[in-house]
Amino acid sequence: MSEITVKPQEWVEKISKLREQIGEVIVGQQEVVEQMLWCIFAGGHALLEGIPGLGKTMLVRTVSEALDLSFSRIQFTPDLMPSDITGTNILSFGQQGSTGMSFQKGPLFASIVLADEINRATPKTQSALLEAMQEKTVTVGSETHRLPKPFFVLATQNPLENEGTYPLPEAQLDRFLLKIEVSYPSADELKEIVKRTTSSHETEVQKQMSAEELLEIQHGAKEVLVAEEILDYAVRLLMMTHPEETSAPEEVRKYVRFGSGPRGVQSIISVGKVRALLSGRMHLSTGDIRAAALPALRHRLFLNFEGQAMGVTTDSVIQAVLDKLEGSA
């Protein structure tokens, strides 16, 4: 990409209009929308978790329309095969009876791919996403096919206590930049949802940004400055998620089996840069680090048996780390 002039104020205004447009369709869930935008402008993939019926699918579709990106939805089921999402080579017939093999693209070949209820597919099919998410390519046979740019996987999953689900393997979870928790709406939000969904009026989503502008903002976010002390703060935060670390809080030492790997701090910095840019700043702050910590780390910490038995959540453990880090700052 050619050199881009950094213009944060113009980008802030564009993203503000993007938020407003999404809010015309999606009721509430401001934090979810904000974290999804962080993820997209950081160039990563997001995992949205919540019970059925909270509008996760509608949110992803609305974002794709507002960004004017090609959209594909894959409903994950136990009988879904890897070739059903990546595509396959098929026999094609040419002139004068000639034959040959041609590649038929699967639904992964879109800029925004909604992997709906990803934890209902078998691990074999879940793993078929790994190359696409990490390398932005699909290999079928001996040929490698490049996915469109930009490319995002926005996956939804229902809580694992629901029947018929397969826990995502750790390697797959780590490919998601953020894990976003979709909460239940309030009473007022429920009323507004009912009004919008049971009336004859349909809101048409207006395009607010092109793919080129999105890529420009992604590039601009990478130019946000990170002071050495801010980077030290983020690294200390990550190290304190490991139970063997002497500075880790009691909750980590008692309930955590494994802390976050290096992708955790990479995610925090990437998302923090976007948050700073969206605030009109070209430098990272500790506030950006703290805001990014929960969605960036909640799927990268693994509790031990005692933690699971006690009903401890990774969010509460990360909050304990943040509290101790703030106290020692």
Mean pLDDT of the chain: 84
Is 76 inside a domain boundary? yes
Is 77 inside a domain boundary? yes
Assess whether 149 and 277 both reside in one domain: no
pLDDT number for residue 94: 65
- d(C-alpha 279, C-alpha 273), whole Å: 10
pLDDT confidence tier of residue 2, bands split at 50, 70 and 90: very low
**193-242 pLDDT, tens digit each:** 787 777 777 777 778 888 888 888 888 889 889 999 999 999 999 999 99
The kind and range of the H/E element at 156 are strand 152-157
Assess whether 199 and 74 both reside in one domain: yes
Is 1 inside a domain boundary? no
Using alpha carbons, list the distances in angstroms from residue 5 to 124, 157, 180, 198, 221.
Answer: 44, 38, 31, 46, 12
Is 88 inside a domain boundary? yes
286 compared with 12, residue with greater pLDDT:
286
Is 216 inside a domain boundary? no
The kind and range of the H/E element at 256 are strand 256-258
Assess whether 20 and 123 both reside in one domain: yes
CATH code of the domain covering residue 276: 1.10.8.80
pLDDT number for residue 103: 72
**237-249 pLDDT, tens digit each:** 999 999 999 888 9
Task: Say yes or no to pLDDT of 3 above 60.
Answer: no
**146-197 pLDDT, tens digit each:** 888 889 998 888 775 566 677 787 878 888 999 998 888 788 878 887 877 7
Is 217 inside a domain boundary? no
Assess whether 188 and 244 both reside in one domain: no
- d(C-alpha 271, C-alpha 43), whole Å: 9
Assess whether 256 and 302 both reside in one domain: yes
166, 181, 210 - which closes a domain:
210
Query: What pTM did the predictor assign?
Result: 0.86
- d(C-alpha 301, C-alpha 317), whole Å: 9
**262-317 pLDDT, tens digit each:** 999 999 999 999 999 988 888 999 999 999 999 999 999 999 999 889 988 999 99
Assess whether 101 and 166 both reside in one domain: yes
Is 114 inside a domain boundary? yes
Assess whether 203 and 267 both reside in one domain: no
Assess whether 202 and 282 both reside in one domain: no
pLDDT confidence tier of residue 96, bands split at 50, 70 and 90: low
Assess whether 159 and 292 both reside in one domain: no
Is 68 inside a domain boundary? yes
Q: Into how many domains does the chain fold?
A: 2
Percent of the chain with pLDDT over 70: 92
pLDDT number for residue 1: 45
Average pLDDT over residues 118-134: 81
pLDDT confidence tier of residue 104, bands split at 50, 70 and 90: confident
Assess whether 173 and 257 both reside in one domain: no
Task: Say yes or no to pLDDT of 28 above 80.
Answer: no
Assess whether 194 and 248 both reside in one domain: no
162, 178, 210 - which closes a domain:
210
Task: Say yes or no to pLDDT of 329 above 60.
Answer: no
153, 180, 210 - which closes a domain:
210
CATH code of the domain covering residue 19: 3.40.50.300
Contact present, 178 and 246 (Cβ < 8 Å): no
State the residue range of the domain holding 135. Answer: 8-210
